[in-house]
Amino acid sequence: MIRALDSLKRGFYKARPLGAALVALWAVSAGAEVVNGAQLPDGSRRVGENRYRSPRDFDGTLDYYRAVYSTSGYPRRQIVNQPGVKAVHISNPSGKNFAGLNIYEANDEVRIYIVPLQQAARPAKKPETTKRRKK
């Protein structure tokens, strides 16, 4: 027997599209690792400084980042498209924590490189001169 939920309406409960979108986003981001402010797919393995191996294929990894970082808010550009090598750069327009992400496939592996922020070169401090008194 199907019964209406607690509401004054006679119709049956219908899931809201926004709720379904939030559940899908939660499923995508659940358990994901965040490094330097950048989110990585669940199961990513570190292979070097700011470099990670994705457990997904290239298109699957791009789909993951399409769900996490919207294309309207995080511009993308193709870096390389040669036989055997594909690469896409995702920019971080806010400039907080990381400059962007490079996602590339080579030798049947998908890697993610977190592009760090460029640190402003600090001017070298001049050594303090000590004043000597003449005796």
Give per-residue pLDDT as tens, 70-106. Answer: 999 999 999 987 887 899 999 999 888 899 999 999 8
* pLDDT, tens digit (0-9, with 9 covering 90-100), for 14-52: 555 655 555 455 544 455 688 888 999 999 999 999 999
Distance between CA atoms of 107 and 82, rounded to whole angstroms? 12
Residue 98 burial (CB count, 10 A): 17
CATH of the domain spanning 32-115: 3.30.160
Residue predicted with more confidence, 39 or 12: 39
Give the domain ranges of the chain. Answer: 32-115
Is the whole model's pTM more than 0.95, yes or no? no
Helix, strand, or coil here: 23?
helix
* pLDDT, tens digit (0-9, with 9 covering 90-100), for 100-119: 999 999 888 999 999 998 85
